[in-house]
Amino acid sequence: MTAGANGDRVDGMDRWDRHWRRFALSARINPAQAFRRRLILHLLGGAAAEPGATILDIGCGSGDLLAELAAHL
């Protein structure tokens, strides 16, 4: 463990969590990412709304797209 700027303890997990929080924020406000999410929601809209439909998210990242799909479909 190392000391942070204000003297608190910072370990690898703290750095990891901070990195991914920043990454998730930048992905949410990136215009290209916003377009991609809208396009995917549009393309999946009809098919995903059918009873018993399942969406399998195979990827890496913060999971923001999957959370948005769950909220909209």
Long-range pairs, 61-64, Cβ under 8 A, ≥24 = 61/23, 61/27, 62/20, 62/23, 62/24, 62/27, 64/24, 64/27, 64/28, 64/37
Tell me what pLDDT residue 6 has. 56
Tell me what pLDDT residue 7 has. 54
Tell me what pLDDT residue 4 has. 55
pTM exceeds cut of 0.85: no
| pLDDT tens per residue across span 12-56 | 788 888 888 888 888 778 899 889 888 988 888 776 667 777 778
Tell me what pLDDT residue 8 has. 58
